[in-house]
Chain A
Amino acid sequence: MAALKEHCDDLEPLIEGIADGSLPLSAEDAAHVASCAICSQRIERARSIENLLSMREIAQPQAGFTQAVMARVVQERWKAERAIDLGFNLAIAAGILVIVAAGAGLLWSLGMLSITIDVDAIAQALATTGTGRLLSQVQTVAVSAVLLTMALVLWWWAEAARE
């Protein structure tokens, strides 16, 4: 009985190969299978599984599958472009912020930034401020303006290229 069980255990890992015909049974194994209910049942079951696997239907995608994929490709591209647009917008917003800050700095350094704006005081301050000090502020504003212009040109170019 123990020897029979041992033979069953030896054959167990080979059942699938026997069932699909890729592992031929030796005469000794064939004799064992013929007289062993467990092994013949296992082989029969493995053959049933083999049959079911080979008879499984092949599912087909829906008719509009390709169109759906292409639509998602377009959608993904649009998302990516939106991210680039957002980047441009942020860059421009940062540029504007720099210009506003520089302008405010200029006004503040000229003493013109106060809660109430006195036009006479502005004119007087403009007339009395040292040229060098004014120039350094003007440089900041000019650099900011150039940066902003570049950002706008770049944006315009990107939009034109997309179209």
Chain B
Amino acid sequence: MRATPEHELVERCRQGDETAFRELVDQYKGLVFALIARSITNRARAEELAQDVFLKVHKGLPYFRGEAKLSTWLYRIVINVLSQERPELATASLDDRDDEDRPRVQPAADDRAFGDLVMKDRLHKAIEQLPIPYQVLINGHYLKGMRYEDLAEALNMPMGTVKTHLHRAKRRLRHLLETEYR
């Protein structure tokens, strides 16, 4: 089935068309939920937060002027919802220098934990410790359907710096795995 063009869908939603809003939820629920579920381990809570995102969309639609893309606006709401859930990570510094101060563990030659199931769990826990913009950057980048442009706009970052921030986020993740989640 052909997806309704974004502006048409938004306009119908703004006019109070419930079917259009249902269509909007159906169209974006996969991305929104996947993005949240990668930051929130508790599945029920992740589902609740994803629903909150769409409730905020429903409330905000009359004021949505279409200057940004609907998807960008949605991702911004996801970031807000995650920031409200983990306020301590919403304002965490993205500055690399803060990370330099952490005690570092040199990778041991016999560390073969990477690649196994335990490692996946460690990775998830480490991602949960990252500042929210870094979480969204990492989680979104590896989700099919999210583009650099969307991430840059949603995170208010210039396109040119998205890749740099992504590398910084992954570096911080590696450091976390080398220290706290060994």
Contacts and interface: CB of A to CB of B under 8 A. Distances in A.
Interface of A: 13, 15-17, 20, 22, 37-38, 41-42, 45-46, 48-54, 56, 58-62, 65-66, 68-70, 72-73, 76
Contacts of B51: 65, 68-69, 72
Interface in B36-53: 37-38, 43, 46-47, 50-51
Contacts of A13: 96, 167, 171
B30 A60 contact: yes
Given A13-B96, A65-B47, A66-B29, A41 B142 contact: no
By Cβ-Cβ distance, the 4 closest A-B pairs, closest first, are A59-B37, A48-B114, A61-B33, A41-B107
Interface string B103-146: 00011010000110001100100000000000000100011100
B21 A73 contact: yes
B22 interface: yes
Contact of A49 (B47, B55, B96, B174): B174
B29 A16 contact: no
Nearest to B115: A48
A145 to B, nearest CB: 37
A52 B138 CA distance: 12
B170 interface: yes
Given A16-B167, A49-B123, A66 B142 contact: no
Interface of B: 18, 21-22, 25-26, 29-30, 33-34, 37-38, 43, 46-47, 50-51, 54-55, 58-59, 96, 106-107, 109, 114-115, 119-120, 123, 138, 142-144, 163, 166-167, 170-171, 173-174, 177-178
Nearest to B44: A62
A52 B106 CA distance: 21
B47 A69 contact: no
7 contacts: A13-B96, A41-B107, A41-B109, A42-B107, A48-B115, A62-B47, A70-B21
Contact of B55 (A16, A51, A52, A72): A72
A85 to B, nearest CB: 20
A47 B95 CA distance: 23
B138 to A, nearest CB: 7
